[in-house]
Chain A
Amino acid sequence: GAVVSQHPSRVICKSGTSVKIECRSLDFQATTMFWYRQFPKQSLMLMATSNEGSKATYEQGVEKDKFLINHASLTLSTLTVTSAHPEDSSFYICSVRRGKLNSPLHFGNGTRLTVT
């Protein structure tokens, strides 16, 4: 069964508005979750590492104030795209590592964001 649940699967919003994406680990506690972004026909790029109870770690070039990450519990991390612009339109995927370091990542089904 699914290990990670991501919601919503699709969202369309207007420029200037904010969008929240949720990522839940379904049957285990995850102290760390990862947020990836995937442009059409391109690979997954790590945006940030979400740490339960502390600040997220952002990759170089990712704007912290634009992509707000909150990991308030051991089963939920949220990514909020603030003041969205059309160039933020992309496919966002969360993932969770279940188990020891270097155990495989389990991915959510992704969220397709379209900013009009």
Chain B
Amino acid sequence: AQTVTQSQPEMSVQEAETVTLSCTYDTSESNYYLFWYKQPPSRQMILVIRQEAYKQQNATENRFSVNFQKAAKSFSLKISDSQLGDTAMYFCASSPGANNLFFGTGTRLTVIP
């Protein structure tokens, strides 16, 4: 069974500050991928960043970076220089070698001006 846990239902951050969203997962697969998706009020799911489990180097996309701790099965998302447009639901997801994604319950992030 695949499970993805996001323990922070809601978070807020001041504009221009940094925030970290937590995610832990459980998988028995040896090769898998991890993703962070953003869902703004429009409900469109937008890929933020992805990490391949066999790569030790943490993925980075502009202001977004991850802290991937494979042994701990942890995959946190750090957003630097937060912007108002970052306000959204953030979902952590795992793809354990199968076709589909398993999503966490999400973290609602609010960026405060």
A contact set with B: CB distance below 8 Å: 32, 34, 42-46, 49, 91, 93, 95, 97, 101-102, 104-107, 109-110, 112
B103: which A residues are within 8 A, CB to CB?
A: 43-45
Partner of A110, one of B44, B99, B101: B44
Given contacts A34-B99, A44-B91, contact A102 B33 (CB under 8 A): yes
* Nearest neighbor of A51 in chain B, beta-carbon distance: B99
Partner of A102, one of B46, B95, B104, B106: B95
* Nearest neighbor of A48 in chain B, beta-carbon distance: B100
A102: which B residues are within 8 A, CB to CB?
A: 32-33, 52, 95, 97
Given contacts A42-B105, A43-B104, A43-B105, contact A101 B44 (CB under 8 A): no
Asked if A107 contacts B44 (CB within 8 A), the reply is: yes
A93: which B residues are within 8 A, CB to CB?
A: 43, 45
Q: Which of under 10, 10 to 19, 20 to 34, or 35 or more describes the interface residues of B?
A: 20 to 34
Asked if A49 contacts B99 (CB within 8 A), the reply is: yes
B95: which A residues are within 8 A, CB to CB?
A: 102
B35 within 8 A of A: yes
B42: which A residues are within 8 A, CB to CB?
A: 109
B84 within 8 A of A: no
- Pairs across A and B, CB under 8 Å, 19 listed: A32-B99, A34-B100, A43-B103, A43-B105, A44-B101, A44-B103, A49-B100, A95-B45, A101-B97, A102-B32, A102-B33, A104-B35, A105-B101, A106-B47, A107-B46, A109-B42, A109-B44, A110-B44, A112-B43
B89: min CB distance to chain A, Å: 9
A43: which B residues are within 8 A, CB to CB?
A: 91, 103-106
B66: min CB distance to chain A, Å: 14
Interface centre among B42, B45, B95, B105 (most CB of A within 10 A): B45
Interface residues in B18-55 by Cβ distance below 8 A to A read 32-33, 35, 42-47, 50, 52
* Nearest neighbor of B49 in chain A, beta-carbon distance: A104
| Sample of 9 further A-B pairs with CB below 8 A, known A43-B105, A44-B91 | A43-B91, A43-B104, A44-B45, A95-B45, A102-B52, A102-B97, A106-B47, A107-B45, A112-B43
